[in-house]
Structure formats: C-alpha cells, structure tokens
C-alpha cells in the first residue's frame, strides 16, 4: 500500500520533503541535485549506494551528498520515512554557512532520534489542519532538521549564539507591531529586519528567552486576543483578528498560556 506525499516549498529555497510509506515501490538508480536527509521511522529501507548494498532499520539515517547515485526499496514489509531535499545554496542560506563539507557516513544511527523527530515535526507542520503562521513554524522546523543534520553529521561549524539584546528587543517589537497590524510574519523577513541570519536568529532568541521566534508570535497573538476579549469582542471574532485559524485554535492556545479558556476570562 502506497501512501506517499511530496511537499515542495517554493517560498523556502525550493526545499522539499518526501513523506514515504510503501511496500512494493522501487526506485531505479538515480541521484539528487542537492542533499538528501532522511530518517527511517518504521520498517526497513534498502538501497545500493557507493558500491554497497545496505539495509537501514528504523532509527537509521540516510544522508546523501549531491549527485550520489543510489537505488531504493522496502527491505522488509512496509517502510516509512521522511526525506528532506535541499540544494547546496539552500543549506548555505538557511544555516549561514560558508564551508559545507557534506556527509561522510551515509547511514549512521540517529543518536537520540533527534533528527528523526525533527523530520516528523516538519511533516506535521506541513500537514496538520490547524497551524498558526504555517510558513514561520515550517521555516523553524526546516532549520531544526538542517542544523541537526549538518551540525551532528556534516562537520559543519555552526556559529554559536551570543547575547544579542538589541536584536532580540527589535524582534519582539516587530512581532508585536506585526500581530497588531494583522501582518504575515515570516522567518526570513523577521531575521532580515534585525540583521541576523534565520538560523542564528532562532538559536540566539531561544538562548536569550527560551522561546523561538514562532513561540513569541504565538504569545503575542494570545495577548492580542485577550485584549480584544476584554474589550468585549466575541471569541470567534477575536480569534480571527488575532491571527488564529478559528475559535477552537484560540481556545487551545489560550488555555496553554493562561490556564483557562476565553470563556473563563471575567471582567470586573
């Protein structure tokens, strides 16, 4: 049974995600123009690569450099995996890297399953029906995949986040203003406005505040909805005005932030 889905992110350097779930499909010898970063989530996948026949059980990674020829098939029953494809230019732009050496080991074990989980989160960002600021949260998820892949397995020297108080203040001000104005907030635009690369912005913001940029956007949206509710705006209208998908989404986020639903907010 085949349940494959392919996502093309034209707005994010043309990066792509392949959600694979199949048992009988096979892939003839081929190669990808960019990097292929995958994780076997279920079953076992197999391929012929670098002159060697390999079987990858669940918990294995598949890390291929550009133009690396290989085949592909399900090695036992059904195999399920997520595979991200990114050009060299996309990786450099996303991670702010000059030196990009690629992967030495093609099929390492996923230490702590960190990359497996990061790829699964990215797939969820693209397929979940209710995601606020989908492009922003998807951009953060892509960065998490690339940073783990190249930081842990690609010998990349990622710039360590420092203290950036001025940039963080500017970011929070921009988020507040954008939410109040009903503007779309994207990772690339937020980073450019404060003079940092997207990857470094995520890491610096997380280090300084404990939240990613998307975390701060969610907090600002909940606060905006709260102000509207206190002004007497009906919950359904407040949800849309604050940038949520619908009232149900607002209720979930409101409870997470304040411990109560909007209906339990009492004015005196």
| Residue % of the chain over a pLDDT of 70 | 99
Instruction: Write the burial class of residue 236 (CB in 10 Å: 0-12 exposed, 13-18 middle, 19+ buried).
Output: middle
d(CA 252, CA 115): 28
User: Is domain 165-264 annotated with CATH 1.10.10.60?
Assistant: yes
Which residues are within 8 A (CB) of 208 and not within 5 positions of it... i.e. 6 or more apart?
161, 163, 164, 165, 168
pLDDT score at 164: 87
**Alpha-helix runs per DSSP H in 71-163:** 88-95, 114-127, 134-148
d(CA 25, CA 6): 15
For 55-91, what is each residue's pLDDT tens digit?
999 999 999 999 999 999 999 889 999 999 999 999 9
Q: Enumerate the domain spans of the chain.
A: 5-153, 165-264
Sign of torsion over alpha carbons 106, 107, 109, 114: positive
pLDDT score at 244: 93
The answer, yes or no, to whether residue 1 has pLDDT greater than 70, is no
Q: Tell me the pTM.
A: 0.90
Task: Report DSSP state, residue 66.
Answer: T
Under 8 Å between Cβ of 1 and 43:
no
For 120-167, what is each residue's pLDDT tens digit?
999 999 999 888 899 999 999 999 999 999 999 998 888 888 788 999
- Two tokens, residue 111: 């230490």
- Give the residue among 218, 229, 224 at the shortest CA–CA distance from 256: 218
CATH superfamily of 5-153: Regulatory protein AraC (2.60.120.280)
């Amino acid at each position: 049974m085949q349940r494959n889905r392919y996502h093309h992110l034209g707005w994010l350097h043309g990066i792509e995600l392949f959600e694979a779930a199949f048992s009988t499909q096979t892939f003839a010898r081929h190669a990808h123009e960019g990097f292929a970063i995958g994780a076997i989530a279920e079953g076992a996948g197999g391929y012929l690569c670098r002159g060697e026949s390999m079987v990858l059980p669940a918990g294995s990674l598949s890390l291929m450099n550009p133009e690396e020829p290989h085949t592909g098939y399900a090695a036992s029953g059904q195999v399920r995996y997520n595979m991200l494809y990114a050009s060299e230019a996309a990786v450099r732009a996303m991670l702010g890297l000059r030196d990009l050496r690629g992967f030495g080991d093609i099929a390492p074990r996923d230490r702590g399953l960190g990359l497996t989980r990061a790829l699964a989160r990215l797939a969820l960002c693209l397929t979940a029906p209710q995601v606020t600021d989908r492009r922003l949260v998807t951009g953060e998820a892509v960065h998490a995949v690339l940073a783990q892949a190249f930081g842990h397995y690609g010998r990349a020297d990622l710039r360590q986040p420092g203290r950036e108080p001025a940039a963080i203040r500017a970011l929070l001000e921009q988020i507040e203003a954008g939410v109040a104005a009903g503007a779309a907030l994207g990772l690339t635009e937020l980073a450019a406005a404060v003079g940092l690369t997207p990857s470094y912005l995520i890491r610096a913001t997380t280090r300084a505040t404990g939240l990613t940029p998307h975390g701060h956007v969610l907090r600002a949206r909940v606060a905006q909805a709260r102000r509207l509710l206190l002004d007497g705006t009906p919950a359904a209208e407040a949800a849309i005005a604050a940038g949520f998908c619908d009232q149900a989404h607002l209720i979930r986020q409101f409870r997470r932030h304040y411990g109560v639903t909007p209906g339990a907010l009492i004015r005196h």
